[in-house]
Structure 1
Amino acid sequence: QEDDDSCSDYGSRDKPGTTLGRTVPDGNVLFPDIFHTDHLLFYERFKAYQDYILADCKASEVKEFTAEYLEKVLEPSGWQAVWRTNVFEVLVEVVDVEYSALKAVVQLGEPFLCESRDSTFTLDCMQELLELKERQIPLQELWVVYDESGEFDQTALAVEHVRFFYQCIWRIWDEEEEDDFDYFVRCVEPRLRLHYDILEHRVPSGLVVDYQNLLSQCEELYRKFLNVRNSISSSDSDSEVENVSMVEGLKLYEKIEHLKQKLKLIENPLLRYVFGYQKYSGLQAKGPRPTGTKITHVVSSTMMAGLLQSLLRDKLCPESCGEELEIQFHNDPLAAVNACYEGDTVIICPGHYVVDGVFCIADSVELEG
């Protein structure tokens, strides 16, 4: 009973009216508004996963713990949702929930509302598709339709937590990792912190690209590894094909482990900066420009006449300067820094700049602005 009470405090079941916002779906079809839940703060997701969903579970227990959480907070029927895939969106009504499978049993909503890339998804086609799926849809593919009563707030939040977890936190190899440690501490918290550090631009964009590329490579190799492993288990023992597959599997396994270690380095808030530093620590200084000249680099997103006059008066043509200055203009601070040689000057004018990369300065240059 205590678990039920503590869990019911998370959300707004006992409060009149919804506390969640609403979002108007994009597209040409007039779908009903949906709950706006993808804006949750770090501490809200952290608290949900630590206190209500995962607690101290192992990786192999994640699905079981999630199902237990859903049984406490998810309305089993009576709510509508927009079922979204890469190909179509369709309005459905939830008539039951298969908690252990993390799926909802649905039927098409009335009226029939569907938007797709082509016109092949008719009412009959969608009915047939649902029958093939035994009318069971993964919860993470559902966006709960807005209801101002507050009755479905916890349902909308629960679906959001499941969706976010499997899209942003869970890795397909997690279940096969060492299971002796607290999964939340070992994997969930560092990945969640990294996600929000990236959102709040606290991680260099170059490192973000590296992480995403590493993750994609690791997922692709792991799927290949699973295929090889399955082929070994289904083939005759001691066959030449099996021996070749085992060698291939070992090579894939080593590559995967190497990539996973790199991912863990970036996921660790302290080590990711060491990783980023080591990547660029081999940078060599260019030294003086071969021609011997020194260039002043001016960075400005837009150059107005008044700004140019001010630069000419205060920076580019000082009275004490007895020689001609060579000037280059840039609209990106990173491009200006990368163009520098020893002794150059970079003047960054007021403005808003989006830098896609990491500043690596190996030469002695002067920065102003």
Structure 2
Amino acid sequence: MASGARAAGPEDRTGSPGRRGEKAVSAPGGDGAAAGMLKSRASPARSVVASPRPVKAKAGREAARRRLQLLPVTQAQGPGEGAAGEEGEPLPSVPEEAQAEARPLPPICVSPMRGMWRDEKVALYCDQVLQDCKAEDADEAMSKYLSEKLKLKDRWLGVWKTNPELFFVTYEEASIPFVGILVEVTCTPHQTSTSCFKVTVSVAEPFSSNIANIPRGLVDEILEELEHCVPLLEVHPVEGQDSEIRDIALALEVVRFFYDFLWRDWDDEESSENYTALIEERINLWCDIQDGTIPGPIAQRFKKTLEKYKNKRVELIEYQSNIKEDPSAAEAVECWKKYYEIVMLCGLLKMWEDLRLRVHGPFFPRILRRRKGRRDFGKTITHIVAKVMTTNMVKDLSSDTFLQQHDDLDLALDSCYSGDTVVIFPGEYQAVNLALLTDDIIIKGVGKREEIRITSEPSHDSFVVSKADNVKLMHLSLIQQGTVDGIVVVESGHMTLENCVLKCEGTGVCVLTGAALTLTDSEITGAQGAGVELYPGSMAVLERNEIHHCNTLGTSDGSKSTLGGVSMKVLPAPKLKMTNNHIHSNSGYGVSINQPAEQFFVVEEALNKGAASGDKKDETVLSRVMHSLNLEMSDNKIEANSKGDIRVVTG
């Protein structure tokens, strides 16, 4: 399983690649060789407070207790041992050498994978390592790849990173993310499965660790219990050795990444005609998460779901292993419950992987509620949302208006039929039903828009989602908190937003294919993607709006940072009319037109033909391109956007 292949601790990122011409250190030849590794770039070691596992020797136990400044002897040693230690003969004094703190760890080799482009990763895994193998043969392919690399050098220095639970009974997770020990590695793996590879290790001199006050005797004792064999993928080669060691370090990183992110334990249970194509999709998914193409909240939810799946699978295996005889009825039911929970998580992960988590998550369509239509008696109702309703609130309504008062916005929306109006008075509200708008209604605030604050429910994926033919929101403030979908998603039909404030936390307003949006006199800010994102074949009219400080999610990939105020995805081209808008202070362009690569060069060539000098382009040429894309712009103020005002970019 993948869990068996994973290194117990996080990867050390403090090292840097060795410089060309740097003197290599042959592995390993005693104190001198290891000492040469401990340069000024070594990772600092620090003392921690933890309760060590009991070791056999009395002197070792006492040293561990004193060195880690911990619990009483009775807690650190186990039941019965503390009293014997206190009432028996005095413990021999600990040699002075045992009091010396561990040296800092040398820097580990930095894998070239960190600088690889996605195409290079795809070529490495699909063409070199897996080579069109089937899912059930992936373990064997990874094992063969790693075995060939390990033949380059059978002895080298590495940092063994393992779970702190192997050394300590109690500890602070924040202070000890992993235990790292400098070891001498002897590579004589015999297993056929990569995830089960073991190597022989011994403590290298000088004694070095990321925990300054870890007792040397404790480390020796643990290694003796393990017969000096540890999982190969927990060992990270250190810098300054032969070039062959760098190749081994790369191979280890390739295998770790495969089992950590690309491999799924259901792969070999299902028939896949093209397994390498599936691996390529997962590589693209990982790259999209890393470079910010997929918004942070969505990526985080995917990672949590994947981690939950792995944990639940481990729980099931452990539960089954604890059943000694034939399971009872209760145990059988519990096994089935755990199994079906795993199946549900597995299905969710497959859905997310297939749809690539694009912008607003995997659940499409989002609205499964049916449209109610109009009431049987044909009348419409005005729903008043306020804690207390007074006559002054309804004085401007006609005498024949049907009224219904609610103190909860959710109840008001749930009571609506097509043609109804929801009038909201100042206050703070939440409403799950805003994500289920199917009927043609008007939702409007009374008073200043800043005083009618509607916040999203963090436990839900969506905030405002509509597939009504014609729905209107007026004089409101929408505050997104925790939801990962777009702050407003127009799934189908037409939505009007008038005089609203949209404070985004995830993505901005998304208008899906075939849907339409009219946005007037409103403000959009804080979106992690574009403030307004138009999908192919959508329509939008934007007038007198302010769109600023969008595309707030940082990304290391310059090509992914072009989103800003308004983003259009072309083919078929959306229709957009923009008048008197102020688009400013966005990361990216004020308006970006995203086209597929094969279409980009045609438009780019047309733009370049009109260039007079440098980056200055003929405005008439740009105007013709915009016209061909159904884009009308007049009297807009586009300024102070980090990439520029308007740009045609590859999608």
Instruction: Give 1:283's aligned amino acid.
Output: A
- The 8 Å contact of residues 105 and 137 in structure 1, kept in 2 or not, is answered as yes
Tell me which residue corresponds to 2:502: 337
Cα distance change on mapping 1:367 and 1:148 into 2, 3 Å: farther
- The 8 Å contact of residues 194 and 267 in structure 1, kept in 2 or not, is answered as yes
RMSD of the TM alignment (CA)? 4.1
Which whole-Å deviations, capped at 9, do the CAs of 1:185-205 have from their partners, x for residues lacking one? Answer: 33x322222111100111122
- The 8 Å contact of residues 73 and 154 in structure 1, kept in 2 or not, is answered as yes
Measure the CA separation in 2 of the matches of 1:292 and 1:368. Answer: 26
- The 8 Å contact of residues 82 and 89 in structure 1, kept in 2 or not, is answered as yes
Q: 1:354 aligns with which of 536, 553, 567?
A: 553
Residue 152 in structure 1 maps to residue 229 in structure 2: no
1:268 is paired with a residue whose SS is helix
- The 8 Å contact of residues 17 and 150 in structure 1, kept in 2 or not, is answered as no
TM-score (norm: length of structure 2): 0.41
Cα distance change on mapping 1:273 and 1:290 into 2, 3 Å: closer
Q: 1:65 aligns with which of 141, 150, 160?
A: 141
Which structure has the higher relative contact order (CA within 8 Å, separation 6+)?
1
Aligned-pair CA distance for 1:230: 3.5
Higher strand share: 2
1:91 is paired with a residue whose SS is strand
Larger Rg: 2
Which whole-Å deviations, capped at 9, do the CAs of 1:282-321 have from their partners, x for residues lacking one? Answer: 725795542244569xxxxxxxxxxxxxxxxxxxxxxxxx
Cα distance change on mapping 1:287 and 1:132 into 2, 3 Å: farther
Measure the CA separation in 2 of the matches of 1:189 and 1:99. Answer: 30
> What are the residue-to-residue correspondences of 1:249-264 with 2, within 5 Å?
249-264=335-350
Gaps of 5+ in 1: 1-15, 297-325, 360-364
Q: 1:208 aligns with which of 270, 287, 299?
A: 299
Residue 184 in structure 1 maps to residue 276 in structure 2: yes
TM-score (norm: length of structure 1): 0.68
Residue 43 in structure 1 maps to residue 119 in structure 2: yes
- The 8 Å contact of residues 345 and 367 in structure 1, kept in 2 or not, is answered as no
2:187 is paired with a residue whose SS is strand
Instruction: Give 2:110's aligned amino acid.
Output: H
Tell me which residue corresponds to 1:230: 321
Cα distance change on mapping 1:185 and 1:263 into 2, 3 Å: same
1:152 is paired with a residue whose SS is helix
Residue 110 in structure 1 maps to residue 205 in structure 2: yes
Higher helix share: 1
Measure the CA separation in 2 of the matches of 1:24 and 1:266. Answer: 41
Which whole-Å deviations, capped at 9, do the CAs of 1:87-113 have from their partners, x for residues lacking one? Answer: 311111112231523232211112111
Tell me which residue corresponds to 1:362: none
Measure the CA separation in 2 of the matches of 1:134 and 1:94. Answer: 13
Which whole-Å deviations, capped at 9, do the CAs of 1:105-124 have from their partners, x for residues lacking one? Answer: 211112111222x73x3222
> What are the residue-to-residue correspondences of 1:4-43 with 2, within 5 Å?
24=41, 26-28=43-45, 29-37=103-111, 39-41=114-116, 42-43=118-119
- The 8 Å contact of residues 139 and 163 in structure 1, kept in 2 or not, is answered as no
- The 8 Å contact of residues 221 and 256 in structure 1, kept in 2 or not, is answered as yes
Q: 1:291 aligns with which of 434, 442, 446?
A: 446
Instruction: Give 1:115's aligned amino acid.
Output: N
Tell me which residue corresponds to 2:219: 126
- The 8 Å contact of residues 207 and 276 in structure 1, kept in 2 or not, is answered as no
Gaps of 5+ in 2: 1-19, 23-38, 46-102, 163-176, 368-433, 452-474, 489-500, 510-518, 525-545, 555-564, 566-577, 585-651
Residue 84 in structure 1 maps to residue 170 in structure 2: no
Instruction: Give 2:338's aligned amino acid.
Output: L
Aligned-pair CA distance for 1:269: 4.7
Cα distance change on mapping 1:39 and 1:30 into 2, 3 Å: same
Instruction: Give 1:136's aligned amino acid.
Output: C
1:250 is paired with a residue whose SS is helix
Aligned-pair CA distance for 1:334: 7.3
Cα distance change on mapping 1:284 and 1:90 into 2, 3 Å: same
Aligned-pair CA distance for 1:149: 4.6
Measure the CA separation in 1 of the matches of 2:522 and 2:338. Answer: 47
Cα distance change on mapping 1:349 and 1:275 into 2, 3 Å: closer
Tell me which residue corresponds to 1:8: none
Aligned-pair CA distance for 1:157: 0.6
Tell me which residue corresponds to 2:353: 267
- The 8 Å contact of residues 158 and 236 in structure 2, kept in 1 or not, is answered as yes
Tell me which residue corresponds to 1:174: 266
